[in-house]
Amino acid sequence: QVQLVHSGAEVKKPGASVMVSCKASGYIFTDYYIHWVRQAPGQGLEWMGWIKPNGGDTNYAQKFQDRVTLTRDTSISTAYMNLSGLKSDDTAVYFCSRSYDPSLGFDHWGKGTLVTVSS
């Protein structure tokens, strides 16, 4: 069955960077886009961007354009989200999800990685 498995929780200081990984299994990794979505405590869902594993094309929300980098390693079916210049309001659960096309819904999600930014 399709699974998206995240790396473990992280605690970072303001100004630092964090990398969250998302390992895919149960399907052909390069056939689906990987999206990253975050949810701050008590808040709703916020889309950050997507990466197309086949080729590595990316599309970022303008809000995160200067601070986020999405990459992938097709040899191990894993996508990565790197967020730099962390601030306290970056404290959130970061989810990866997949879609067959960017215009379609996200049909599978990981359980998310909690990133806490605190001095």
Q: Give the binding site for another protein (CB under 8 A).
A: 4, 35, 44-47, 59, 61-63, 95, 97, 102-112
Q: In whole angstroms, give the CA distance from residue 83 to residue 105.
A: 24
Give least dist CB 88 to another protein, A.
21
Give least dist CB 60 to another protein, A.
8
Give least dist CB 68 to another protein, A.
12
